[in-house]
Amino acid sequence: MKLISKSSEGLHGEIKIPGDKSISHRALICAAISEGTSKISNLQESEDVINTLKSLKQLGISIVKENESYYIEGKGFRGLKESENRLYFGNSGTGIRLMSGLLSIQNFSSSLTGDESLSKRPMKRIIEPLSKMGANISGTNEDTLPLQITPSKKINGINYKMPVASAQVKSAILFASLGANGDTKIIEKSISRDHTERMFEYFGASITYSEKETTLRETDTFTSQNIEIPGDFSSSAFFIVAALISKNSDITLKEVGMNPSRIALLKKLIQMGGDIKVFNHSSFGKEPVADVNVKSSSLNSCEVTSDDVPNLIDELPILFIASCFADGISSFNEIEELKHKESDRLKAMQNGLDKMKIKHFVDGNVFCIEGMGTGYKIPNFLAETYYDHRIAMSFAIAGLNSNSSIEIASPESINTSFPEFIELGIKLGCNFEIS
């Protein structure tokens, strides 16, 4: 498949963004370990989420799709069955890390693996706290995949100070804590997304969470629930930036997740001068949602602090793109974690920015981008994407402001999180061509 992104005449219209990836993983897993049948609507049908769904099926959970909703028969915290085959999580750090926590409290062994990119990503960050809790979990000598988990005699709650701000690590600990003796308390340096906490609360767990501290008290069961998944804010981010940087644009995105631990990008873009309105506020379960209207805007540079980073970690590549079309030098502090994502996203973006003839530099812990302002047209080039969905979508959006067009390498990676990206983009007026 080939994806070409051509200079566009502006974006218009209203679309509903498919379900959030983080919340979809958690909804499936929580439903699978609750008592009774849960219904999930607007589940994200991406490769990442479908791999989690398939793993749960391999572990003996019945999941049926009927009339656009998924029905999951929960079997309780320890009701999963041993899988005959290795569990495969594809590209998904969230899938494998959350499931590792849950599989650590089962009375059978599991082997977990993933694709080439996931096989290189660090797993020590979950192996360490789970082992401290009493889990038997190991990876290769380099603490990478495959992971082996064998039954443990006893899992204890943990008092854990997180060395990295990571919702995946926090959530792995929380899932393991469901089978632990005693309470678990997690303290974070910077606030990471709290979807697990909200979902646990929705399913009836005894959990408190505020700012940087989460406490889960011993909980015996989850009660099955009906869950409507909010639109994915991270998917929306691509079209929000697309509308801001394309002249004559006016788009509305419906029922987008507005969890405060996810929307730092929105705040940054508004500070940069973005014409963005958030309205029709409501909630799906414990998650806030709203509609978002975005119009073309002249942007100023931004400053991202280390505390902002976990809240916009997945949006950094597209915020880099927005910064290219802003006036002034944008600065991004302590974005080291970008190197441990589906690709080394800092390197991937630096390569692309070079081809876009955008000046960028590193000053100590700070990455800086010198914006070219509204109306800048990037030269035509082939964007390397390292099979990383967010890199591919970021350059596809940059192409809307090109001299004529840019080509996106391996665009299939987009299916990892947003299979509808090209179709919805075209509907809004993005000049995408596939062949």
User: Which one of the spans 57-65, 165-173, 222-230, 359-367 is the region binding ligand S3P (CB under 6 A)?
Assistant: 165-173
Q: How far apart are CA 323 and CA 340, in angstroms?
A: 22
Residues 287, 173, 94: CA angle, nearest 5 degrees: 60
In contact, 392 and 421? CB cutoff 8 Å: no
Asked about 314 being catalytic, the answer comes back as yes
Compare residues 114 and 429 and give the one whose CB is closer to ligand S3P: 114
- The verdict on 314 binding ligand S3P (CB under 6 A) reads yes
In contact, 90 and 416? CB cutoff 8 Å: yes
**196, β-bridge pairs:** none
* Phi and psi at residue 349, to the nearest 5°: -75, -40
In contact, 408 and 399? CB cutoff 8 Å: yes
Minimal distance, residue 320 CB to ligand S3P, in Å: 15
**Of the candidates 5, 24, 38, 94, which one interacts with ligand S3P according to CB under 6 A?**
94
- The verdict on 44 binding ligand S3P (CB under 6 A) reads no
Compare residues 46 and 252 and give the one whose CB is closer to ligand S3P: 46
Given the residues 314, 327, 354, 388, select the one marked as catalytic.
314
Compare residues 327 and 337 and give the one whose CB is closer to ligand S3P: 337
User: Which one of the spans 34-42, 139-147, 164-172, 174-182 is the region binding ligand S3P (CB under 6 A)?
Assistant: 164-172
Question: 124, 115, 126, 127: which is closest to 88 by C-alpha?
Answer: 115
**Per-residue string for binding with ligand S3P, 192-221, x by CB under 6 A?**
xx----------------------------
Minimal distance, residue 297 CB to ligand S3P, in Å: 27
Sign of CA dihedral 387, 388, 389, 390: negative
Q: Copy the structure tokens of residue 329.
A: 């030098």
- The verdict on 302 binding ligand S3P (CB under 6 A) reads no
User: Which one of the spans 161-169, 253-261, 262-270, 348-356 is the region binding ligand S3P (CB under 6 A)?
Assistant: 161-169
Angle between helices 421-428 and 233-245 (to 10 degrees): 30
Q: How far apart are CA 101 and CA 86, in angstroms?
A: 16
Compare residues 80 and 237 and give the one whose CB is closer to ligand S3P: 237
Active site residues: 314
Binding region for ligand S3P (CB under 6 A): 22, 93-94, 166-168, 171, 192-193, 313-314, 337
